[in-house]
Structure 1
Amino acid sequence: MGVTLRYLALSFTLSAFIFLAIFHIIGISTIKDSATKNEETWHSFVDCSKKLSSFECIDKIESNAKGDNYGQLSISIGLLRSQLGVGFIFDLIYTLLFLCLFVQTYLLFYSIGSKKINIKYFTLADWTINSAPLLGVLGTIASFVVVISNSDSQDMQQLFKNNFSIAAITTILGGFIYIINLFFLFLINQHFSED
């Protein structure tokens, strides 16, 4: 039991480190910038959301908008509104990608500690490899669903530009995790036993 807890702790620590390093490399902070290019709108939304619900804040910011930047502001508001509705999908995809990396890391430590691994664990390791790119593609599809749902907006090119980084991040993250899991599978394969 103690050995398994050690494997879980090591796996979680290594998986979290790798996952956060990948997020840092591909710049996950650009999601906020790509969702709203108008910094003033973003800060107004953050300040307002501390007091009111998110959708009430969007309505308040939109009603206060005037002047030349109303077109850009309406695109930013549309993206905020749409991503509040589907933002949980991206969080779910990132969580599942982390889970794939965690399971593969755990199986690596388990195979090293037990000196051999049977077919059911090897099948699980194979599953975690194949699910990472699939989740990356699902993130891309979800990102472009946001664009299509906002197709009534005037500037379609701006919508694609703002959502492209979200699509790219999920795809690149899925690819990185695929490569890492493939390397881990190579190491796990050395301890594979038909028994």
Structure 2
Amino acid sequence: MVKDLDLRLLIDHFNNPKFVLINDNLEFPDLLGAAYEYLIKFFADSSGKKGGQFYTPASVVRLIVQLLKPQEKMSIYDPTAGSGGMLIQSVQYVNEQGGNEQNLELHGQDNDGTVVSICNMNLILHNIFKGHIEFGDILVSPANVKDGKIEQFDIVIANSPFAQNYNSTALQHQNRFSYGFAPETKKADLMFVQHILASLKQDGRQ
């Protein structure tokens, strides 16, 4: 139980006009981001199966990032961005290798407007201000389009949804799907894979 004195001291601390809630004023540089990630994880855990739609365990993300080895000056794209953990850990990995995150190009998309907001907030609280997170269904209307063609990236990193329905007639830029169309009832997995491949540079990693 929090003591009255401790609570008063905490309130007084935040009421101090000289205090600004930024990472530089906290115990370690990424405390705000870490706290937000904790809340996202807590919410995902309490949401059960639905939580997996926007949150991938950090240990799994870390392993994927270590395998892909993102580097400075790369473009990184997450077509099913969720809460942004894969983009954030890619930035952190580059920093750990002595690179400059300002030289990274970050893109993402999600079909849930609330999740897009969560993702953008997560990036900001991790001091990442150059992410481009778009709202929309990547199969129906991909946002990574430039000059009428699917834009390609150095790294595509994603935890795509499984067993999702789709409607082939609604899909834009159908030249992405050179391997054909899977059955539409809970069989969109192949379509996500094809979008990822179409979004990858010839020498890219995914």
TM-score of the superposed pair, with normalisation by structure 1: 0.26
The higher-RCO structure (CA 8 Å, 6+ apart) is 1
Structure having the higher strand fraction is 2
Please tell me whether Structure 1 or Structure 2 has the larger radius of gyration of its CA atoms: 1
Structure having the higher helix fraction is 1
